[in-house]
Amino acid sequence: MNEYNGGIDGGGKKPSGRPSFSFKRNLIWVLLLLVLTAAVVILLNHCTGLTLRGFFDSLKHISLPYVLCAILALAGYVFCEGRAMASVGAVIGAPMGPVRSTLVSSTELFFSAITPSASGGQPAAAFFLTRGGTPLPKATVILINNTLHYMLSLIVMGTAAVALSFPFVSALSPVLKILLAFGFLLNLLAFSVCLLLLCRRELVRKICFPAIRFLSRIRLIRRREAAEQRLERAMAEYADCQKMIRGTPAAQAKIFLWNLLQRLCSFSIAYFVYRAFGFSAHGLVEVLCLQTFSALAVNGLPLPGGTGAAEFVFLELYRGYYPPGLAAEAMLLTRAISFYCIFFFCGIVSVGYYLYFLKKERIGKRI
């Protein structure tokens, strides 16, 4: 959570006290993502016989209205992310209009997509928030508070999905069960730690500092002092967050609902693709449960966009939903809309937004 204090490239703050930015490091992640994507395509061709020609041939027979619904759901996903951040901003005196919040959410989603475990999303969002005039402390609060609700929405949906589909979960392969349990516990742990930081700061100090010392002794943490300093900064930031959002239950409910709606928009893309291929045996709630399982299973894996794991999990979860010859094509179309559209279109928005601030700062220097 502290990464954006040191800037995206870890190079510290600029003289202005705002996060810095490194295109070089992010270019490396983009290249890694492209390499992983190519490897996945080759592996799918070897394991399922999927070819690009076969994929495009299958697209000739799909229902375009449902594809359009999937694209609209993707747009809703980006928009809801922005409105959730804007709702936090409204509470702490850092308002954002729909356009600006959507631009910031586009950058957050793009950098989340290209970095392992979505680690680059918040640093990028902090960079663009501060460049847009939001003070760094308030940008930090926006990102922390929104992340809490983002994790909570997945925990709530995951619990509901397991309750609604317990026989299905029981029949999953051991590998999928392990990934699902690991993802759920990881989200629950992260959410619990965040709450402790907000509510019981001294308890976190008593737990985490001895843990850092122990990990340092067994050489899992090389720089103990740096780790302790990062924890101190995180605790201070969360304390500031607590002060700013205390006593705003209605606003917190609104932020949670935006995050829940964002998840629903994202997960419904798979349902619209399912209907686009002409299938209707399974309803929206069933597909939403499957996509919740997919998000939990892939969430904790340190892969850019979960590339590789996401494809494997989809094919396993939807084994009985598509005929064997169409499962890979459906997976590829679902990923193309839900992930690669984010990669391309939000990437273009991110570059354009960055160039806008670059030009603005150059004009300011001349004046």
pLDDT of residue 4: 35
Q: Would you state the structure tokens that stand for residue 358, as one six-digit string?
A: 């670059």
The three-state secondary structure class of 284 is: helix
Distance CA 87, CA 311 (A): 34
Rounded (5°) CA angle 313-314-318: 120
Distance CA 352, CA 103 (A): 10
DSSP state of 3: G
pLDDT tens track for 97-122:
999 999 999 999 988 888 776 767 78
258 near 266, Cβ under 8 Å? no
H runs (alpha helix) in 302-346: 309-317, 324-335, 341
The residues spanned by each domain of the chain are 3-366
Calculate the alpha carbon distances from 278 to 61, 281, 288, 320 in Å. Answer: 9, 10, 18, 15
Distance CA 242, CA 244 (A): 5
Among 237, 256, 26, CA closest to 124: 26
Please give the full DSSP string across 60-99, using - where no structure is assigned. Answer: TTS-HHHHHHHHHHHHHHHHHHHHHHHHHHHHTT----HH
Calculate the alpha carbon distances from 78 to 47, 74, 100, 237, 346 in Å. Answer: 33, 7, 12, 26, 9
Taken in order 219, 222, 227, 228, the sign of the CA dihedral is positive
The kind and range of the H/E element at 286 are helix 284-299
Q: Would you state the structure tokens that stand for residue 199, as one six-digit string?
A: 């509510």
Residue 92 backbone phi and psi in degrees, to 5: -105, 10
Question: What's the pTM value of the predicted model, to 2 decimals?
Answer: 0.81
What is the separation, in whole angstroms, between the first and last Cα of the chain? Answer: 36
Among 165, 164, 192, 186, CA closest to 295: 186
Distance CA 298, CA 305 (A): 9
pLDDT tens track for 133-149:
888 878 888 888 888 89
Distance CA 346, CA 207 (A): 39
pLDDT of residue 43: 74
Q: What is the mean pLDDT of each run of 10 residues along the chain (367 residues)?
A: 34 44 65 75 69 76 92 95 93 89 92 76 86 83 87 94 93 90 90 74 72 77 80 72 73 93 95 93 94 89 75 87 84 89 89 84 61
Q: What is the CA radius of gyration of the chain?
A: 21
181 near 159, Cβ under 8 Å? no
The three-state secondary structure class of 159 is: helix
Among 163, 365, 147, CA closest to 139: 147
